[in-house]
Amino acid sequence: METKIPVFIDYLRDERRYSEQTIKAYTRDLTDLLEFLNSSGSSDLSDIQYQDLRLFIVYLTERGLARTTISRKLSSLRSFFKYAMRQEWVLQDPSHLLEYSAGKNRLPEFFYEDEINQLLQAAATMEHGHKYRDLAILELLYATGLRVSELCDLTLDRINGSLQILRVMGKGNKERIVPVGDTAMRSLQEYLSLERPRGEDVGSASVFLNDQGDPIQPHHVRQILDNILKESALTTAIHPHKLRHTFATHMLNNGADMRTVQEILGHVNLSSTQIYTHVTKEQLRQNYLNAHPRASRHKYTD
C-alpha cells in the first residue's frame, strides 16, 4: 500500500485537479490507515480485508476523533480502494460493505445580511497596503460562492468584465460559468487597476497575489478574513466556506431557484444544494417563533 499511495495522490492532483488542501487531507487519511495496518499486521494491499477497516474505525473512535472526521477519513479510503480496483491492484474492494454514520448533519453556518454588511464595511474602511485586494476577495467570495481553492486558482484570462462572468475551474477539472454582481466586479476591477502589480516583474497570471507576487494560498485568504473580522464589531467566526454558505442561503432566501444555486456553486448533485433549504426553513421557523406572541410557551406566563 505504501508505494501505491503516491500514485493515487498524483492522480488526484494531476487528473482530478484537487486543491492542495484536499490533497493533504487524503494523504493524511491514507497515512493514518497505513500506520495502523503496519502496527497491527500487514499493509500489503492484497491482505487488507473488511475486518481490518472495521478495526481501523474502532481505533479512530478510541482516539476520540469526531464522527464527522472519521466519516471523512473513510470517504478517502473508499476513493482509494475504488481507484485500486480500476488499476487492478486488488481483486475486491474491502471498503465496499463499510458503513458508518456521522450522525445528524449540522446545518451550515452563515452570516445574516446585516452581519455581512458589517464585514464589507470594515473591509472597505481598512487602511493598509492590500486594502483593495482584501475587499475584492471578500466581495467575490460572498457574491459568487466560490470555494477558496477556486478563488486562489482564478487567473486573469478567466475574467470577462464586460459580461461580468468568471470561468471557474472546479472539482474534477470541470469548468462552470459564474456571474458576478456590479459591486463585486467593481471591487475586483479596482484591485486590478489600482493595486495588483503589473509588468514583466509579475510572472504569475493569478488574479490574487501575495507580497512576493506569487499566487495567494488558502491560508492567506483565511488570515485576510480574520483580519477583516477583527476590524468589525462581530464576535462570530469566519472562514471562506462560511461565505459560500452565506451566498447560497441569501440567494434562496431572496427567491433564487435551487437549480440556479446548484449550477453556480458547482454541485454535481442537487442533494448537496438542498441542505440550504433546511437552513432557510429553519430561519423561517425561528422568525415565526420570535415574532408570534403565541408561538412559544416560553414567551409568556400565566
Catalytic (active site) residue 128: no
Catalytic (active site) residue 13: no
Catalytic (active site) residue 72: no
Q: Which of 241, 259, 281, 292 is catalytic?
A: 241
Catalytic (active site) residue 250: no
Catalytic (active site) residue 112: no
Helices (H), 154-217: 182-194
Q: Which of 147, 196, 220, 245 is catalytic?
A: 147
> In whole angstroms, how far apart are CA 187 and each of 9, 213, 275, 300?
37, 20, 30, 48
Catalytic (active site) residue 186: no
Q: Which of 171, 176, 186, 239 is catalytic?
A: 171
- Other residues' Cβ atoms within 10 Å of the Cβ of residue 267: 17
Q: Amino acid identity, residue 108?
A: P
Strands across the sheet containing 175-179 = 159-160, 165-169, 175-179
Task: State the first-to-last Cα distance of the chain, in angstroms, to the nearest integer.
Answer: 68
Burial 212-233 (b: 16+ CB within 10 A, else e): eeebbbbebbeebbebbbeebe
Instruction: Provide the annotated active-site residues.
Output: 147, 171, 241, 244, 267, 276
